[in-house]
Amino acid sequence: MGENNTYKPVISKSAYIHPSAVIIGNVEIGANVFVGPNAVIRSDEADHNNHVAPMIIEDDVNIQDNVVIHALAGSTLKIGKGSSVSHSAIVHGPCEIGKECFIGFGSVVFKASVGDGTVVMHKALVENAVIPEKRSVPSGTIIKNDEDALMLEPVTEDLSAFAGRVRQNNLNLLNSSIYKKTNYKMNRAPKIAVVMGSKSDMDAMKECINVLDDFGIPHEVRIISAHRTPERAHAFAREATDRGLQIVIAAAGKSAHLAGVMASMTTIPVIGVPMQTSDLGGLDSLFSVVQMPGGVPVATTAIGRAGAKNAALLAISILSLNDNSLNERLKEYRRAMQHAVEMMDDEVCVAIPC
Ligand code: RP5
């Protein structure tokens, strides 16, 4: 991960990213870009200066299903305006794909530069080569150096027209009713409810909400008190299943019993987060959440911010049982943590030789 782990994707509001796609790190995605199901776009490897090089996906680019775009530490990657990367292709940096290019099904482009308007058909390999502009790489071709690349025929009018049609079809997808953002949002009914007893709990619970946001999990946030708004608490828990909620995260402080009340009225998993308190430091909250009598379980996290963060991760872990892509992202999250600790160890070993 980068310096202070601050590398986050910057995605144009007009881009469409399928919910199962994974976008991590120093990635910039331009206007009208379409990213299809299960695509993975990662710029996450830090160089020796702890810097993660930018990965730039320019406007109008189409990244189809199962495409993998990644780059070696310290190397840049760019995909030029209007290019299409088709199903299951791999584009690995260092790499530059020019404007209005086409990369076909299952092709691999690595340590290479592809000139504007070039069409790489299916299952081709382009490695360690600079392909000039407007060339044609037939299906199955292996290009392993610049000499191979210079032998390539110019792209035909037919192939250019084909790439143009793919480009236009992709732009049309952005406006189709299937992918229109409004529909997509309507389909994104919350899976997780984050409920807290008071607005004063929000500071700690931001840790939970931020993790859900980072993983792109649709969620809702409510302030409901088990004791001050008991009817609302009961109704909320009773209706949770019918509303499609899959997990309730309930945070409360002192002897407020929000998580237990929720758990008594629903059979979906309830995760309780004990809030820190000024009087007893949160031990009061912990006991009121953790000591549920047998029969009505509440999974209880640590007190305060760490518990809030872990509540989100536990909820994601439960959802990932039925979602491979989410499971992969969870594994990636763990790897990033591991890497961050290893970097700390490296720094300490430099300061105080091991
Ligand atoms: C609990 O009482 C809330 O969850 C909060 O942690 C605590 C204090 O609530 P406020 O007095 O700040 O509303 O019900």
User: Which atom of ligand 1 is least distant from the CA of 197?
Assistant: 4
Name the token pair of 254: 């002192």
Residue count (the chain): 354
| Residue nearest atom 12 in ligand 1 by C-alpha distance | 200
Q: How far is the CA of 51 from the centre of ligand 1 (A)?
A: 42
Residue 304: left if φ>0, alpha if ψ -120 to 50, beta else—which one? Answer: left
Asked if 31 contacts 45 with a C-beta cutoff of 8 angstroms, the reply is no
Name the token pair of 140: 């199955």
User: Which atom of ligand 1 is least distant from the CA of 196?
Assistant: 4
pLDDT of residue 290: 97
User: Which atom of ligand 1 is least distant from the CA of 226?
Assistant: 14
Q: How far is the CA of 217 from the centre of ligand 1 (A)?
A: 26
pLDDT of residue 188: 63
For residue 255 and ligand 1, the question of a CB distance below 6 A is answered with no
Q: Classify strands 27-29 and 55-57 as parallel, antiparallel or unpaired.
A: parallel
| Residue nearest atom 9 in ligand 1 by C-alpha distance | 198
Contacts of 206 (CB under 8 A, 6+ apart): 308
For residue 256 and ligand 1, the question of a CB distance below 6 A is answered with yes
Cα–Cα distance, 227 to 229 (Å, whole number):
6
pTM score of the predicted model: 0.54
Asked if 116 contacts 134 with a C-beta cutoff of 8 angstroms, the reply is yes
| Long-range CB pairs of 208-214, under 8 A, 24+ apart, other chains included | 208/249, 208/251, 208/273, 208/308, 208/309, 208/311, 208/312, 209/312, 210/312, 211/309, 211/312, 211/313, 211/316, 212/312, 212/315, 212/316
Give the mean pLDDT per block of 10 residues along the chain (354 residues).
61 85 90 92 88 93 96 93 97 96 97 97 97 97 96 96 91 75 51 96 96 90 96 96 95 96 97 96 96 96 98 97 91 90 89 83
What domains are defined for the chain?
10-175 (2.160.10.10), 183-322 (3.40.50.1970)
| Residue nearest atom 7 in ligand 1 by C-alpha distance | 253
For residue 304 and ligand 1, the question of a CB distance below 6 A is answered with no
